[in-house]
Chain A
């Protein structure tokens, strides 16, 4: 089923299909353009129209009343292309080269991009663009070939252009393809024309308004205002859409190149190449190829469409292909599903955690000061990659195969329930099932040992990357009885983790100092006044205690009561009553 139009051609009425109509219209426009500088142009066109009417009339009969594309094509073949009408009337036209001749005929028709089917190698994209820019197709082809070696982007560009640029099929389109070159002259001419058109419209509008007031036909005024506004906004919209189109093309291309770089393993994420990055998570059984394919589809297709729409906006191409939108949409969904499914399956490997808690065999006397220091089993090599998420940083030694991951343990000191020092090691890892997770946890290498009154802790724990990164971690828990004094060595500065202390000093700053375990946590024995002062105005709220630190006073609230310690006095409110001690000034 096709829509038909009724036209009047040289006084004869024809029913014509929409496509055929467009074809005929373009053809007549091209002819008019051809003869427009000639005396008697209208007459020539009228004669040709009459002949066309005669030819087309012969195509219709009782059984076939509607004109279709083929009829028009046949008639045009009989009449010939406008370029064939070229007459040797003036001498100087003859003297020039043919291509020059043609150009003089095609003046004043804005140039548009078409694929040039007559000079094509593949799809006529290059020759079409070349004639748009008035260059030799060879240069465009060469540029594209060069681009091809840039990750095949030339090929992609070519395919996109092939799809979006329509082929110059009708004579009129071929004329447009070689129409006025876009240069300063034609642009200024176009602007002048538009301006004068606008001026005419405004004048018409003004006259119209004058007339309207006398003839009282106000509806038409509304229409004219509408038309005027439409014209103005249409112009603005055109410019804006071109700017947006250019931006689309620019960013779409840049992002697409970035995507290709990522997929082809160029560029790094936090010191790891993309492939390495993906392989730190993905085991050998992970279908990396499909994941990358999904990623390419999921991200690449919207970028391609962005470039496509952008080019359409810039070049003013209106043709759209339903099949293209539909098929890219389907491909995108497939890519998305692929990506999501594989990501989910990977994430499920983190779902179960199995903490593996073991007590370290240590025997410390309660009188000696406990020294906690690092057994430096590992130090950062220059070849190591420093890789991590937030606070969770890793050193990855890639020089061995499989690579080894080194992570920092977390050391925590809490109050013991009994009178002896006890040390626990908790290894954790993730996995699909608990068994898998605990197996991974077991594979973590970490040791803690006693040397006299020294507790030696490895500064790093490690695992071999055959296990893959599954949120591995080591927590050391040191339980100290009350009044036990401990020295936190500087060598574990960044391993201290969330250690409660009444002075409210940060973990890292706790190193290099002596601490005494009290009911409320560790109390600093060797801190300078400045260090204590630096930590003023802190409020720590714990389950059973509240510590408020201020430059003037410290307040501790716990199950034993409230204790206020200021420069002037020490106040204790407890079950025993209120006790106030004034301090010497």
Chain B
């Protein structure tokens, strides 16, 4: 077990190093001239030289990378070339929004997918199984930018659910319910959650569909296993067999899928963020790409990549708790 995790940890460090190099070098592959972006019409060779000296861009690539990394390791992601704003601050503002959207959407997705998958797997090809299979298959092929539009139409416009309208997204959380000095804890929490309703629901539908289908098919396979018959022969209730004996061995693929999916949602929820003007990481990334704000792109990509890797590492860890055979070999 320990050996397995040491190995994984070494791999983790190596991967993060590789990613840092990748996200650093990526910028240099992009077309465009930083000097034009920053200096505009004042981009004379002389000014450019001055600017590069000022920004440290006249040094070699290796030197630049090491300078960047040494700051990153000390927790300083640098400043935007364009707005001069600290990248730490920009990310600290945006990241909680992503995290909250992910946490809420994943809770909803799992809370729906697990019991429904169990119900469907109980009678494969039964009525419920066929209907849920059909519906989720349909939803699987509907992209999130369509779903989000329909949710806005139904929830915010048709039902007029208060606090969910388009205006709510721009004053989106920043975890204001925790720090706000206006209103009580619960009213701000309610505001926060209401403004989160449509984007989280959109993400949760996408996740739910995948989780449901993965878990359903694994449960059906597991329920055919001999050890399920054995569990029946002990005189255990269906419920207990489902939760204690079928769910755990069936959840390995579900966890793996969730790891990839959650990783994808960090900044990957950017379509939804963009459409609803939610100032999360995805929006930050898109804005910085439009502005060719190199260091912001580089740092955001790096942070997102590290988050994805850490999440998958955590998922691997949980997986070994669920199925200890994995860590043994």
To the question of whether A and B form a pair in one complex, the answer is no
Give the B-binding residues of A (Cβ under 8 A): none
Give the A-binding residues of B (Cβ under 8 A): none
